[in-house]
Amino acid sequence: MNILSLFPAIPAAMMLGLWLSRNIRQIHAVMVTGSSLLLAFAIYLVFAYLGMRADGQTAEMLLTDSHIWYAPLNIHYAVGVDGISVAMLLLSAIIVFTGTFASWKMTDGTKEFFLWFCLLSVGVFGFFISLDLFTMFMFYEVALIPMYLLIGVWGTGRKEYSAMKLTLMLMGGSALILIGILGIYFGSGATTMNIMEIAQLHNIPLSMQRIWFPIVFIGFGVLGALFPFHTWSPDGHASAPTAVSMLHAGVLMKLGGYGCFRIAIYLLPDAAQELSWIFIILTTISVVYGAFSACVQTDLKYINAYSSVSHCGLVLFAILMLNTTAATGAVLQMLSHGLMTALFFALIGMIYGRTHTRDIRELSGLMKIMPFLSVCYVIAGLANLGLPGLSGFVAEMTIFNGAFMVHDTFHRVVTIIACTSIVITAVYILRLIGKILYGTCTNPEHLKLTDATWDERLAVIVLIVAIAGLGLSPLWMSGMISDSIVPIVSHILN
């Protein structure tokens, strides 16, 4: 058995453990053990991967393995990782780990909640290790469905509406993906479902690529919050429970970007070059539009959701630039945004758990009441607006530099438009910080609130360390990613 299979296997084992658990202590024990194992394993994988590269293993995918499980359609359980997937696995493991601690205080239906949470993780991890179109799609679906129940049952506010909307829109996206996958499979001669092999064949006629590219790109773009298919995101995130928001914005939205890159662009490169301009316009709109929308929201989660639209827009924007630097930036941005937004949602959840409101007009002066959470909130905000030394800066600068390397007027103009988002981001982040953290507390009820407990501190600190680590020494991560992107981009360009 391939060691990568442990990634979906551990959450599956956790589900079994949860099923057998009888009380909250056992549930917590299972979750902590499992998620720590995942995190440790992900970290180990990073080092193992770097070690294998250092040993001179130059294959595009390492640790590959393949077992057939449905011969008529050549569907394999094929796994393998390159730098991009290793980075994404690390991100997912961190978020699952911190998400566990962020939902430590959950009381109703804890067992079921964590069961679905683990199933979601199975899907996420499976997606990132898969190399087979159909297996990948299957894990994608596994990751989506639990979301409906997690939001619909454990959410807040208009949870049924949001859950329904989110699931339906994402299902619409996955219907497109399925069509696109079949199109790619039959377009390439119906001999293999393996991504790497299809890419090697490189035989899908341009006229077919023109049809499948937009379909697959939009299909994944829905999950990547591509304008105008992003509207599930504000409602969905606002209603979801903390850990689910974290996992969803932190990891699931990255599935979109990853899929766009791995499937839409990698397998349909000619159409990607031809049609990228349409999507570049859409993503530019996402970037600026999300930022402007965030400026006037009053719900903490809505602000962050729109901010995610803006930042994830930047991911797709960078992918579409079709060069190594921008694509490296895109992956860095996925990492950085995943960590940042998870931190944000964790903190919002903790603040909401205390104040029972997310309306920024009702919150003020939290800095004095809960200094730890507030300081972390400021750090998250600063990371979000791209402060050097934190991860956001690294990612954004790589993207802007990469985008600027495409030298025609159109790309230049959209790059400059996208750059303006860093100013608008500063506007809404500082407005938020000024309103809720600074000032004097006006609500006497809030004066009695307490600061973070150990489990919350642990979750927040892990995320901050990751953000600062990526921001302070980006070299190894950026190097690992760009090494894997070079062959992909060179494949796309010829």
Partner 1 sequence: MEYTILILLLPFLSFILIGLLGTRLKPAAAGAFGTIVTGIVAILSYWTAFSYFGAGRDASGVFPTLIPWNTVWLPFNGSLHIDLGILLDPISVMMLIVISTVSLMVHIYSFGYMKGERGFQRYYAFLSLFTMSMLGLVLATNIFQMYIFWELVGVSSYLLIGFYYTKKEAIAASKKAFIVTRFADLGFLIGILIYGFYTGTFSFTPDAPALGAAKALLPLALGLMFIGGAGKSAMFPLHIWLPDAMEGPTPVSALIHAATMVVAGVYLVARMFPLFIGYAPEVLHVTAYVGAFTALYAAVVACVQSDIKRVLAFSTISQIGFMIVALGVCTSADPHEGGLGYMASMFHLFTHAMFKALLFLGAGCIIHAVHSNEMSAMGGLRKYMPVTHITFLVACLAIAGIWPLSGFFSKDEILAACFDFSPVMGWVMTFIAGLTAFYMFRLYWCIFWGKENTELHAEHRPHEAPLTMTIPLIFLAVVTLFAGWIPFGEFISSNGQAYHIHIDWNVATVSLCVAAAGIALATWMYMREDRKVADGLATKFSGLHKAAYHRFYIDEIYQFITHRIIFACISTPVAWFDRHVVDGFFNMLATVTGKVSWGIRRMQSGYVQRYGIWFLGGALGLTVILLLI
Beta bridge partners of 70: 75
Among 28, 105, 111, 431, binds partner 1 (CB under 8 A): 431
Is 292 among the residues that bind partner 1 (CB under 8 A)? Answer: yes
List the interface residues with partner 1, window 203-232 (CB under 8 A). Answer: 227-228, 230-231
Q: What is the nearest approach in angstroms of partner 1 to the Cβ of residue 388?
A: 4
Contacts of 361 (CB under 8 A, 6+ apart): 298, 435
Q: What is the nearest approach in angstroms of partner 1 to the Cβ of residue 398?
A: 6
Q: What is the nearest approach in angstroms of partner 1 to the Cβ of residue 181?
A: 24
Cis peptide bond N-terminal to 228, omega within 30: yes
Among 183, 214, 241, 365, binds partner 1 (CB under 8 A): 365
Is 420 among the residues that bind partner 1 (CB under 8 A)? Answer: yes
What is the three-class DSSP state of 198?
A: helix
The window from 31-39, 108-116, 342-350, 434-442 that contacts partner 1 (CB under 8 A) reads 434-442
Is 279 among the residues that bind partner 1 (CB under 8 A)? Answer: no
Contacts of 254 (CB under 8 A, 6+ apart): 88, 91, 224, 315, 334, 337, 338
Is 443 among the residues that bind partner 1 (CB under 8 A)? Answer: no
Q: What is the nearest approach in angstroms of partner 1 to the Cβ of residue 379?
A: 11
The Cα–Cα gap between 234 and 464 comes to 24
The window from 114-122, 133-141, 259-267, 396-404 that contacts partner 1 (CB under 8 A) reads 396-404
Among 394, 460, 462, 466, binds partner 1 (CB under 8 A): 394
Is 345 among the residues that bind partner 1 (CB under 8 A)? Answer: no
Radius of gyration of the chain (CA): 21
The Cα–Cα gap between 484 and 476 comes to 13
Query: Are the beta carbons of 120 and 150 closer than 8 angstroms?
Result: yes
Kindly state the tokens that stand for 132: 């087979």
Choice between 17 and 471, CB closer to partner 1: 471
Q: At what angle do helices 206-223 and 269-295 cross, to 10 degrees?
A: 30
Among 24, 416, 465, 493, binds partner 1 (CB under 8 A): 416
Is 313 among the residues that bind partner 1 (CB under 8 A)? Answer: no
Q: Which amino acid is at 203?
A: N
Kindly state the tokens that stand for 310: 């803006």
User: Whose CA is closest to 342, among 245, 465, 428, 471?
Assistant: 245
The Cα–Cα gap between 368 and 287 comes to 34
Is 437 among the residues that bind partner 1 (CB under 8 A)? Answer: yes
Is 493 among the residues that bind partner 1 (CB under 8 A)? Answer: no
Q: What is the nearest approach in angstroms of partner 1 to the Cβ of residue 151?
A: 16
Which ranges of 260-319 does DSSP label H, i.e. alpha helix?
266-267, 269-295, 300-319
Choice between 118 and 309, CB closer to partner 1: 309
List the interface residues with partner 1, window 114-133 (CB under 8 A). Answer: none
**Using CA of residue 397, residue 402, residue 408, residue 413, what is the dihedral sign?**
negative
The Cα–Cα gap between 479 and 49 comes to 12
Binding-site string for partner 1 from residue 19 to residue 58, where x marks contact by CB under 8 A and - marks none: ----------------------------------------
Q: Which helix (H) or strand (E) holds 62?
A: strand 62-70
Among 32, 106, 208, 387, binds partner 1 (CB under 8 A): 387
Beta bridge partners of 76: 68
The window from 23-31, 109-117, 261-269, 421-429 that contacts partner 1 (CB under 8 A) reads 421-429
How many CB atoms neighbour CB 375 within 10 A? 14
List the interface residues with partner 1, window 161-190 (CB under 8 A). Answer: 165, 168-169
Among 86, 338, 474, 485, binds partner 1 (CB under 8 A): 474
CA distances from 361 to 358, 364, 403, 437 (A): 9, 8, 38, 12
Q: What is the nearest approach in angstroms of partner 1 to the Cβ of residue 461?
A: 11
Q: At what angle do helices 475-493 and 269-295 cross, to 10 degrees?
A: 130
The window from 50-58, 80-88, 255-263, 393-401 that contacts partner 1 (CB under 8 A) reads 393-401
Q: How many residues belong to the site for partner 1 (CB under 8 A)?
A: 57
Q: What is the nearest approach in angstroms of partner 1 to the Cβ of residue 479?
A: 7
The Cα–Cα gap between 189 and 182 comes to 11
Is 283 among the residues that bind partner 1 (CB under 8 A)? Answer: no
Binding site for partner 1 (CB under 8 A): 165, 168-169, 227-228, 230-231, 234-235, 289, 292-293, 295-297, 324-325, 365, 367-368, 382, 385-389, 393-394, 397-398, 400-402, 404-405, 407, 415-416, 419-420, 422-423, 426-427, 430-431, 434, 437-440, 473-475, 478-479, 482
